[in-house]
Amino acid sequence: MRVAVYPGSFDPVTRGHLDIIKRAARIHEKLIVVVMKNSAKKPLFTVEERVELLRGCCEGIPNVCIDSYDGLTVNYCRMKHATLLVRGLRAVSDFENEIQIAQTNHALMPGIETMFLATGMRWSYLSSTIVKEAARYGSDVSKFVTPNVEAALHEKFKAQEE
């Protein structure tokens, strides 16, 4: 079975990520969405919370499973015998960073290929950062995230206020 891995911070998962997950799941036999512990970013949600939110969003997709990993993406792929990495490209601004990551991963492990999916037009402006900013000031973010994520965002910011 060909296994594909979609790594990211998913802090939190947005409808843009979900669009990529659903489309990638149609192409690949098995898709693992993996929450990576990125040491360069200070996340709002813990890894466990992000995994739970992703699980809530992906319940209905049978060939998708959710995991987390603290380490290099290529090492995770090797462990899972995965040969394909999935990433989403929103705009030209994503390209420079994404090509660098893809080429580094390929240099580290030549057996691994990165496949880019172009973001759906509806979600090209959307990022986890923008969603967090909007939710922090009490905006309705239901257009951008699923109800479980919206509830978790409001709860998180309410707890931070107390």
**What element of type H or E holds 35?**
strand 30-36
The C-alpha atoms of residue 147 and residue 151 are separated, in whole angstroms, by: 6
Q: At which residue do the structure tokens 């996340």 appear?
A: 43
Least Å distance, CB 162 to ligand ADP, is 27
Instruction: Give residues 13-32 in contact with ligand ADP (rule: CB under 6 A).
Output: 14, 16-17, 20
Least Å distance, CB 125 to ligand ADP, is 8
67 beta partners: 34
Catalytic position from the list 15, 50, 87, 128: 128
Going by their DSSP bridges, the two strands 64-69 and 3-8 should be labelled as unpaired
**Contacts for 96 with CB less than 8 Å, ≥ 6 apart:** none
6 beta partners: 33
By CB under 6 A, name the one of 32, 64, 69, 87 that touches ligand ADP.
Answer: 87
By CB under 6 A, name the one of 5, 9, 76, 112 that touches ligand ADP.
Answer: 9
Q: Does 143 qualify as catalytic in the annotation? A: no
For ligand ADP, the nearest residue by Cβ is 16
Give me Rg for the CA atoms of the chain: 16
In terms of residues, how long is the chain? 162
Instruction: Give residues 107-136 in contact with ligand ADP (rule: CB under 6 A).
Output: 119, 123, 126-128
Catalytic position from the list 15, 17, 28, 87: 17
Q: Does 158 qualify as catalytic in the annotation? A: no
Catalytic residues: 17, 41, 90, 128
**Residues engaged in binding ligand ADP (CB under 6 A):** 8-10, 14, 16-17, 20, 38, 87-88, 90, 94, 119, 123, 126-128
